[in-house]
A and B are shown apart, each in its own frame.
Chain A
Amino acid sequence: MAMIPPPGAESGQQLGRSATVVEPTSAPDGAGPLTAAKPRSMLRRGWEVFAENKLALASVGMIVFIVLFCYIGPLIYKTNQVNTNLNDTLCPPSGAHLLGCDNLGYDQVGRLMLGGQTSLEVGFAAAIVAVLFGTLYGAFSGFVGGIVDSFLMRIVDAGLSLPSIMVIIILSVVFHPNTIIMVFIIAVFYWLGVARLVRGETLTLRTREYVQAVKIIGGRTSRSIVRHIIPNAIGTIIVQATFAVADSIIILAGLGFLGLGVQPPATDWGDMLSGGLTYLQSAQNYWWLIYPPGFAIILTCIAFNFIGDALRDAFETRLQRR
Chain B
Amino acid sequence: MIGYLIRRILQTIVVLFFVTVFTLFLVHLFPGGPIKAMLGQRATPQQVAYYNHLYGFDQPFYVQYIKWIGQLLHGNLGFSNKLNMSVGALIAQDLPKTIILVVLGTVVSLAFGIPLGLYQAVKRYTVGDYVLTGVSFLGYATPTFFVGLLLVEWFSVDIHLLPPFAPQGTSVGQILSQPKALILPVLSYAFVLYALWSRYMRSSVMDNLVQDYVRTARAKGASERRVLWGHVFRNSLMSIITLLGLSLPTLVAGAIFIEVVFNYPGMGLAFYNAALNVDYEVLLGFTVIATLATILGNLLADVSYAVLDPRVRYS
Contacts and interface: CB of A to CB of B under 8 A. Distances in A.
B191 to A, nearest CB: 12
A273 B29 CA distance: 29
B135 to A, nearest CB: 11
B190 interface: no
A174 B253 contact: no
Given A253-B143, A257-B257, A285-B158, A162 B149 contact: no
A173 interface: yes
Secondary structure of the B contact surface, majority rule: helix
A163 B249 contact: yes
Interface stretch (A69-77, A133-141, A153-161): A153-161
Nearest to A247: B140
A127 B33 CA distance: 30
Contacts of A259: 276
Contacts of A170: 26, 275, 283, 287
A61 interface: no
B152 interface: yes
Interface stretch (A81-89, A106-114, A233-241, A297-305): A297-305
Interface in A265-296: 270, 273, 276-277, 280-281, 283-285, 287, 290, 294
Given A174-B31, A246-B141, A250-B143, A161 B15 contact: yes
A260 interface: yes
A166 B141 contact: no
A73 B137 CA distance: 28
A81 to B, nearest CB: 23
Contacts of A250: 141, 143
Contacts of A160: 249
Interface string A154-184: 1101111111111101111110000000000
Contacts of B249: 160-165
Contacts of B271: 166, 169
- Counting chain B CB atoms within 10 Å of each CB, which of A166, A172, A297 scores highest? A166
Contact of A158 (B19, B31, B144): B19
A209 B29 CA distance: 47
Given A258-B260, A273-B146, A281-B164, A301 B140 contact: yes
B206 to A, nearest CB: 15
A261 interface: no
Contacts, number: 140
B143 to A, nearest CB: 5
A297 B153 contact: no
Contacts of A123: none
Given A167-B26, A301-B140, A154 B14 contact: yes
B18 A154 contact: yes
A306 interface: yes
A276 B146 CA distance: 10
Contacts of B252: 163, 165-166
Interface residues of A, number: 45
B29 A171 contact: yes
A252 to B, nearest CB: 10
B145 A273 contact: yes
A270 B145 CA distance: 9
Contact of B141 (A164, A165, A301): A301
Contact of A161 (B149, B276, B295): B295
A195 B29 CA distance: 25
Given A157-B11, A258-B272, A166 B290 contact: yes
A12 interface: no
A15 to B, nearest CB: 34
A318 to B, nearest CB: 20
Contacts of B19: 158, 161-162
A166 B152 CA distance: 25
Nearest to B152: A280
A306 B275 CA distance: 35
Contact of A163 (B11, B17, B287): B287
A273 B149 contact: yes
A246 B249 CA distance: 19
A302 B140 CA distance: 8
A259 B141 CA distance: 21
B157 interface: yes
B80 interface: no
Contacts of B150: 290, 294
A174 B14 CA distance: 27
A254 B143 contact: yes
Interface of B: 11, 14-19, 22-23, 26, 29-31, 137-138, 140-146, 149-150, 152-153, 157-158, 164-165, 249, 252-253, 256-257, 260-261, 271-272, 275-276, 278, 283, 286-287, 290-291, 294-295, 298
Interface of A: 154-155, 157-167, 169-174, 246, 250, 253-254, 257-260, 270, 273, 276-277, 280-281, 283-285, 287, 290, 294, 297-298, 301-302, 305-306
17 contacts: A154-B15, A159-B22, A160-B249, A161-B295, A163-B290, A165-B252, A166-B283, A169-B256, A170-B275, A170-B287, A254-B143, A270-B143, A276-B149, A280-B164, A297-B143, A298-B141, A305-B137
Closest A-B pairs by Cβ, 5 of them: A158-B18, A301-B141, A165-B253, A302-B141, A163-B290
Given A161-B295, A169-B271, 7 more contacts: A161-B15, A162-B23, A163-B287, A173-B276, A250-B143, A277-B145, A277-B149
